[in-house]
Every structure is written in C-alpha cells, then in structure tokens.
Structure 1
C-alpha cells in the first residue's frame, strides 16, 4: 500500500511540475520579408532618405572622414513603429548614430498580408560620404 501511495503521489507531483511547462505557449510573431502591401514611410521612400540625412550627425570619432556603406536591418511592426534595429555591417561608428536616427523615426503605414497588419523586415544599405 505504501508503494502505491508513493507512486500516486509521485504521479501528481510530476503532473503539477510539468503542467506549467506544457501549458505555457509563447507566440512568436511572424516577420515577413515580402508582403502584399509594403510598409510606407510618411511621404514615401524619398522622404525617408531626407529624414535620415536631416537627422544624421557625424560621430565625433568619425569626423576624420569615415566613408562606406552601413548595412541595416529593421522591422516595421504591426503598428508602424520601427523596431529591432540592427547594424549588420558598420563603418567606423556610424552604426550607433544610424540606430539613434532610426529609433526616432515616425510611424510608418504598416505592411499588410491577407488584410491584416504584419511585421515586415527590411535590410538596406545607408551610404556614408
């Protein structure tokens, strides 16, 4: 009888211990690279380039003339905000400044897939001259 009690008690403890693990689900949002309706910066891509150029300040460490192309990855979230700003390839210290500029970017019109707003990932170059 004692073995059965220990066995049943072990079963209930095991069920309780693992029930949280089995019931916990984390939904990872899907990020698209290609969608039916692409995200749009207010005024279009030319306005986006103007925004970046207007707000970009050459870092003090790079005033000697660092030039080249910075590769950037961003996500335009379902609400149009710019998130997950990552510098894939940097030139001098330009990446940190580009992150700062993109973080203050106004909201975009979000991308849409099958009539629903979706997060869209963009990879693009920014040339520093």
Structure 2
C-alpha cells in the first residue's frame, strides 16, 4: 500500500508583494513593515494548521503533479485575510486547495509600520510533493 504526503514549504520570512489597488491613504497596502503579520502561535502553528487542513487534490495525484503554489495575501489591520491571489500556479486543483485553506485561517497578528496597524501583503509558498514509499 502506498502513502501520499503533502509537503509544505513556508519561508521563514514574509516575502512581500503588493497586488491591491491603492485607492486612498487608508487603504494602502504596505510591502515593508516594521513588524510582519504573524499566524497565531507562529510558524509551527501555521505548519500544523496547513498540514491538518490541506488535501492533495485527486487529479494532481493521478497525474503525479508536484511543485510549488505561491499565494499572495493581504492581512488587514484587524488580522483578517481580505484578499488572495495565486502568484504561481500549479493547476490540477492545487491552486484552489491552497486558496481554500488560506481563507480558512484564523486572524493573524497584523503588521505594524511606524507603530500603526497597517494592511500588509506578502507571498506564502506551499509545496505539493508525492511520497510513494511503501508501508506495511
């Protein structure tokens, strides 16, 4: 019998990219902040959350699809995720699965710039890899 594993790779720092339209000063999305947003409980908790919630899409497994999905996020001043966009697609249901899991995340600690809570954008990389080791 074969096991399938989804391997997650999340950078230890937030790579920021602005992708929202800036309409006025209160809606600015900051690429560089003094304090980056943080998932509740930090990186270990985020790894755990993604590991428990991300499902490897059946179509991707059937076609042996592996690789990285990059998803852009905007974390609002209240810590909620308001916008997502796929920056690097893998297809075969992987993009949709990453989007689903990210939108299910709890509120984060928001970013800060000049001691003010701000909208912050960054990219979260998530790796899909098949591990086809035999199990007994």
TM-score normalised according to structure 1 size: 0.74
Q: Which residue of 1 aligns with 2:120?
A: 120
CA distance in 1, matches of 2:111, 2:97: 26
What residue ranges of structure 2 are gaps of 5+ in the alignment? 1-22, 130-136
The equivalent position to 2:58 in structure 1, one of 60, 78, 86, is: 60
Bigger relative contact order (CA 8 A; separation at least 6): 2
**Structure 1: runs of 5+ lacking an equivalent:** 1-25
After the TM superposition, which parts of structure 1 deviate over 6 Å for at least 4 consecutive aligned residues? none
Deviations 1:35-85 (A, max 9, x none): 111111111012112211210012232221311011111011111011211
Kindly indicate whether residue 70 of structure 2 is the aligned counterpart of residue 76 of structure 1.
Answer: no
Aligned length: 104
The structure in which a higher percent of residues are helix is 1
> TM (normalized to structure 2)?
0.71
Computed over aligned residues only, the root mean square deviation of the Cα atoms, in angstroms, reads 1.4
Matches within 5 A, 1:1-129: 27=24, 29-64=27-62, 65-92=64-91, 93-129=93-129
